[in-house]
Amino acid sequence: MQTIPITKEGHERLKKELHNLKTVERPQTIEAIEVARSHGDLSENAEYDAAKDRQAFIEGRIMDLEYKVANADVIDPSTLPTDRVVFASRFILENVDTGEEVTYQLVGQEESDISLGKVSVSSPLGQAILGKEPGNEVTVLAPSGQKLYELVEIL
């Protein structure tokens, strides 16, 4: 089995979602199916079809989350080196062309969210920044073309 690298925060988020699906969403969906079933003819019952579709989605997501939680390799950023960018590192990049600085954390695909400053280790930026030290330049091939950054600091 392949382990899934994830931060402690990301692992907790997955466990919380799994708990919610099992204790809240699943029972609500079962109840919705029962109510729709009580309305009679199931062949033309859109409410029943929607509830069954929702149930299939929830069961699939539960299976996916159970696998990810069970195979998670929870990485504590405080135990990692701070002289170079590694998984779970937080760092500041400066766009060489514009001077704009951004702060990111390198995370696994499961917790990647650019709006929260979390970049996947498998993304073009994640691959380019991995192993770099402060002062290094990083070239990223983005959809809009090549971008040049300088690694300012590892937090």
**Based on the domain organization, do 17 and 70 belong to the same domain?**
yes
Q: 83 and 57, same structural domain?
A: no
The string of DSSP codes covering 63-101 is HHHHHHHHTEEEE-GGGS-SSS--TT-EEEEEETTT--E
Q: Does residue 113 sit in the same domain as residue 103?
A: yes
Residues 56 and 81 occupy one common structural domain: no
Q: Are residues 95 and 122 in the same domain?
A: yes
Instruction: For residue 83, give the CATH number of its domain.
Output: 3.10.50.30
State residue 91's pLDDT score.
94
Structure tokens at 61: 């997501």
pLDDT of 1 reads 61
Q: Whole-model pTM?
A: 0.75
pLDDT in tens, 95-141: 998 999 999 999 988 889 989 999 999 899 999 999 999 999 999 88
Residues 98 and 64 in one domain: no
The verdict on 86 and 59 lying in the same domain is no
Tens digits of per-residue pLDDT, 27-74?
Answer: 999 999 998 888 777 677 788 889 999 999 999 999 999 999 999 989
Whole-number pLDDT of residue 59: 96
Residue 79, Cβ density class (10 Å: 0-12 exposed, 13-18 middle, ≥19 buried): exposed
Domain with residue 65: its CATH number is 1.10.287.180
| Other Cβ atoms within 10 Å of 108 Cβ, number | 23
Q: Tell me which residue range forms the domain holding 14.
A: 4-75
pLDDT at 129: 94
Count structural domains, the chain.
Answer: 2
Q: Look at residue 39 in the predicted model and tell me its pLDDT.
A: 78
Among 36, 52, 75, which residue terminates a domain?
75
Distance CA 136, CA 77 (A): 21
Tell me, yes or no, whether 32 and 91 share the same domain.
no
